[in-house]
């Protein structure tokens, strides 16, 4: 039957309209005979030519009105209830024409026949179109996957209609928590309560559930997804209405539910005054602009209408990608965009950039942030994170920058790794410059935890491991981390910097910490798979399921739990998710002496001396594991004592 309906698709638009008119004319004639029969007219009247003459004027009147009111312009596959208006008008006009013609001929038929005829025309002409639409939208079931749509609101209704236009999915049920909708039918699909989910998935052998609630808060979304996780189905969602309206996504762009959808909180609307204070009409520099936080800072900054945005990064590709994205998005109406290649460790380059573009606000996001990578490359980590911060911060003070905001991390609190220690030293650099009162620059630091989906984040790594079939690797069963979405983190950094008075340490409210093992298990279940644990020997602890999880042990420098405050004395600010804290600071002479010793140790590649200096420094550095994990230092691995620098270099040269 569907093939028959599809045959006219091969015709031109003009021929399709003619075919529709022929079909409608046949339906008007057929329904006239039905109207006569339903009205109880004598059999002789059915064969009387005069009786049939009454329907002849009806044909041109009804067809003309159908055409005038757009019935033949509507595409059958996309026809809606609005088309019934033209059918009603044409049917009623036809009935009036029939009654007038009958009266002119001496009352050939009863007016009731004309009324019945109008109703049957309405049902036939309208009904055949909606039947044809249903046939055209009906997927080829053999090649379609049965899916359940969670959410029977407007988004769910639109999704059902959209799925009927394709062949990939066939909606078999709608599920909604609104009891008023239970038992009703929407676009031919019945609505069920969420308590029936397991029975429905078993009945229809459903492997995917589509979440059609784009405006749902994250808290409610978490509750819904927690129910779906236990069903062994893959959960996908539709884009947010904002993305659809903005043209960033289509309504049918289904994607898997990600931890980013669940872990992030519902953001507090940004304070417009704070967002604009250090940006609007100003020249702004973002270091590390190509990174996860740096690039999002740039996206948020251009929305606040700066005069100039200078984007600094050492990565040519990352800088090119960001600059292209922003230029394409802004067109010719945005601020001046200046992508600059360079390292924050280059003093002359930094001063030249600050003076050339008259920079007024600096967001310093350039840093090596991967804990294990910095642990294995300690000299470069310290050079970039500590001495690079000193270079750009001193240049900012000397060049008259108004505000300097350091993007810091929760790993600065009682650091157990070189990365955390280096970022704490970077904070001390900014605090010392604030004490010194050098220039007019207001220095501040913003400290927060992990951001969802950043480069090197655990979530992309878990996703890749799941897609490869596992195992998913977790360092410890009890390790927890704070998470925040990248846009929220960037907005809070901007707003915190706008509240700074000098030397402030701002701490972002990160919400509740997340156990990484729970996160891994949740991600596996959201893919419609079942996780299982492996013991230390790689053997399954229970029944073997789909994706194994293996505990690998804490990495060098890694903590079980992260903290945000060194001292427990946070104070509130005008923003509900930003706190300020008074942290220990070194005097400028004390910091200068410490940095000089650290620099000398780095220059001599004396990692033992470097380690001792960090242990003695008032930064709370307390590594969990003994030894030095720098890869260059470990060239002579396996020996009782580390070799001198010259011996280690000789090993590298000789290849032994």
pLDDT digits (tens, 9 = 90+) for 571-622: 778 888 888 877 788 899 999 999 999 999 999 999 999 999 999 999 989 8
Q: How many CA atoms lie within 13 A of 537 on its CB side?
A: 3
452 vs 359 pLDDT, higher one: 359
Q: 347-356 and 388-398 are packed helices; what angle lies between their axes, rounded to 10 degrees?
A: 40
In DSSP terms, which residues pair with 578 in a beta bridge? Answer: 508
* pLDDT for 16 beyond 90: no
Confidence of residue 162 (pLDDT cuts 50, 70, 90): confident
Contact 224, 149 (CB under 8 A): no
* pLDDT for 636 beyond 80: no
How far is Cα 392 from Cα 351, in angstroms, rounded to an integer? 8
Q: Which whole number is the average pLDDT over 508-524?
A: 84
User: What does the pLDDT read at residue 565?
Assistant: 55
pLDDT tens profile 291-350:
989 999 999 999 999 999 999 999 999 999 999 999 998 887 889 999 999 999 999 999
Within a 10 A sphere around the Cβ of 178, how many other Cβ atoms?
11
Confidence of residue 429 (pLDDT cuts 50, 70, 90): very high
How far is Cα 535 from Cα 25, in angstroms, rounded to an integer? 76
CATH superfamily of 141-257: NAD(P)-binding Rossmann-like Domain (3.40.50.720)
* pLDDT for 9 beyond 60: no
C-alpha dihedral (12, 17, 18, 19), degrees to nearest 10: 90
Confidence of residue 398 (pLDDT cuts 50, 70, 90): very high
User: What does the pLDDT read at residue 79?
Assistant: 66
Lowest mean pLDDT, pick from 312-326, 404-418, 443-457, 557-571:
557-571
Q: Which whole number is the average pLDDT over 395-421?
A: 93
Residue 61: which residues within 8 A CB-CB, separation 6 or more?
90, 93, 94, 97
Q: Which whole number is the average pLDDT over 107-115?
A: 83
User: What does the pLDDT read at residue 656?
Assistant: 37
C-alpha dihedral (604, 608, 612, 617), degrees to nearest 10: 40
pLDDT tens profile 528-565:
888 999 887 788 888 888 899 999 888 777 777 776 55
Within a 10 A sphere around the Cβ of 587, how many other Cβ atoms?
12
* pLDDT for 7 beyond 60: no
Helical spans, DSSP H, in 76-185: 83-104, 111-137, 154-164
As a whole-number percent, the residues of the chain with pLDDT over 70 amount to: 86
User: What does the pLDDT read at residue 563?
Assistant: 67
User: What does the pLDDT read at residue 75?
Assistant: 66
Contact 411, 562 (CB under 8 A): yes
Instruction: Tell me the CATH architecture of domain 272-450+483-511+569-581.
Output: 3-Layer(aba) Sandwich (3.40)
Q: Is 395 exposed, middle or buried (0-12, 13-18, 19+ CB in 10 A)?
A: buried
User: What does the pLDDT read at residue 640?
Assistant: 41
User: What does the pLDDT read at residue 192?
Assistant: 94
Q: Mean pLDDT across the chain, nearest whole number?
A: 83
User: What does the pLDDT read at residue 223?
Assistant: 81
How far is Cα 11 from Cα 15, in angstroms, rounded to an integer? 6
Confidence of residue 5 (pLDDT cuts 50, 70, 90): very low
Contact 300, 490 (CB under 8 A): yes
Lowest mean pLDDT, pick from 26-35, 472-481, 640-649:
640-649
Range among 233-247, 491-505, 535-549 with highest mean pLDDT value: 491-505
Contact 264, 492 (CB under 8 A): no
Q: Hey, is 447 helix, strand or coil?
A: strand
Q: Which whole number is the average pLDDT over 640-644?
A: 44
pLDDT tens profile 166-186:
667 888 899 998 888 898 888
Predicted TM-score (pTM) of the model is 0.70
Contact 480, 511 (CB under 8 A): no
pLDDT tens profile 120-129:
988 888 888 7
Range among 209-218, 245-254, 523-532 with highest mean pLDDT value: 523-532
> Beta strands 442-448 and 480-481: pairing type?
unpaired
User: What does the pLDDT read at residue 568?
Assistant: 61
- Buried b / exposed e over 75-100, threshold 16 CB at 10 Å, is ebeebeeebbebbbbbbbbbbebbbe
pLDDT tens profile 229-238:
888 888 888 7
Confidence of residue 76 (pLDDT cuts 50, 70, 90): low
Looking at the chain, the domain(s) classified CATH 3.40.50.720 span 141-257, 272-450+483-511+569-581
Q: Hey, is 360 helix, strand or coil?
A: coil
How far is Cα 131 from Cα 137, in angstroms, rounded to an integer? 10
């Amino acid at each position: 039957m569907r093939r028959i309906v599809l045959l006219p698709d091969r015709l031109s638009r003009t021929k399709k309209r003619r075919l529709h008119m022929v079909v409608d004319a046949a339906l008007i004639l057929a329904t006239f005979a039905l109207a006569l029969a339903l009205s109880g007219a004598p059999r002789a009247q059915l064969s009387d030519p005069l009786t049939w003459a009454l329907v002849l004027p009806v044909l041109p009147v009804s067809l003309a009105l159908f055409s005038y009111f757009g019935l033949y312009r509507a595409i059958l596959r996309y026809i809606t209830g609005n088309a019934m208006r033209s059918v009603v008008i044409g049917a009623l006009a036809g009935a009036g024409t029939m009654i007038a013609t009958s009266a002119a001929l001496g009352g050939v038929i009863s007016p009731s026949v004309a009324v019945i005829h109008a109703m049957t025309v309405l049902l036939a002409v309208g009904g055949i179109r909606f039947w044809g639409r249903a046939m055209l939208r009906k997927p080829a079931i053999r090649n379609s996957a049965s899916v359940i749509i969670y959410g029977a609101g407007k988004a769910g209704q639109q999704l059902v209609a959209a799925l009927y236009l394709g062949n990939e999915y066939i909606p078999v049920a709608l599920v909604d928590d609104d009891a008023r909708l239970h038992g009703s039918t929407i676009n031919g699909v019945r609505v069920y309560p969420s308590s029936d989910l397991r029975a429905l998935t078993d009945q229809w052998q459903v492997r995917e559930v589509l979440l059609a609630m784009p405006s749902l808060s994250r808290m409610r979304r978490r509750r819904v997804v927690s129910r779906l996780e236990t069903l062994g189905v893959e959960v996908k969602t539709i884009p947010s209405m904002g993305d659809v309206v903005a043209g960033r996504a289509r309504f049918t762009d289904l994607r898997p539910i990600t931890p980013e959808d669940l872990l992030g909180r519902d953001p507090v609307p940004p304070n417009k005054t704070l967002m604009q204070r250090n940006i609007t009409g100003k020249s702004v520099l973002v270091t590390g602009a190509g990174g996860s936080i740096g690039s999002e800072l740039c996206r948020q900054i251009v929305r606040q209408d700066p005069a100039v945005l200078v984007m600094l990064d050492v990565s040519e590709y990352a800088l090119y990608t960001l600059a292209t994205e922003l230029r394409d998005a802004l067109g010719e109406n945005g601020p001046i965009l200046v992508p600059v290649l360079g390292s924050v460790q280059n003093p002359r380059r930094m001063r030249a950039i600050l003076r050339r573009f008259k920079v007024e606000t600096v967001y310093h996001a350039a840093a090596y942030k991967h804990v294990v990578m910095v642990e294995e490359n300690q000299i470069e980590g310290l050079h970039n994170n500590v001495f690079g911060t000193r270079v750009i911060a001193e240049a900012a003070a000397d060049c008259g920058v108004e505000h300097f905001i350091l993007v810091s991390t929760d790993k600065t609190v009682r650091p157990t790794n070189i990365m955390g220690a280096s970022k704490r030293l970077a904070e001390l650099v900014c605090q010392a410059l604030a004490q010194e009162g050098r220039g007019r620059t207001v220095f501040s630091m913003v400290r927060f935890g992990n951001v969802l989906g950043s480069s090197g984040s655990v979530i992309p790594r878990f996703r890749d491991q799941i897609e490869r079939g596992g195992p998913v690797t977790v360092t410890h069963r009890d390790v927890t981390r704070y998470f925040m979405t990248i846009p929220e983190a960037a907005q809070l950094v901007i707003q915190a910097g706008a509240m700074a008075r000098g030397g402030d340490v701002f701490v972002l409210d990160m919400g509740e910490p997340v156990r990484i093992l729970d996160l891994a298990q949740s991600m596996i279940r959201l893919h419609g798979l079942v996780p299982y644990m492996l013991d230390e020997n790689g053997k399954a602890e229970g029944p073997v399921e789909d994706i194994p999880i293996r505990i690998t042990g804490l990495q060098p420098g890694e903590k079980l739990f992260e903290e945000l405050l060194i001292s427990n004395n946070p104070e509130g600010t005008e923003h509900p998710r930003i706190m300020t804290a008074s942290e220990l600071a070194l005097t400028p002479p004390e910091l200068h002496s410490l940095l000089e010793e650290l620099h000398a140790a780095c220059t001599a590649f004396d990692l033992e001396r470097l380690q001792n200096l960090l242990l003695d420094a008032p930064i709370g550095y307390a590594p969990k594991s003994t030894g030095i994990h720098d890869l260059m230092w470990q060239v002579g691995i396996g020996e009782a004592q580390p070799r001198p620098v010259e011996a280690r270099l000789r090993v590298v040269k000789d290849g032994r």
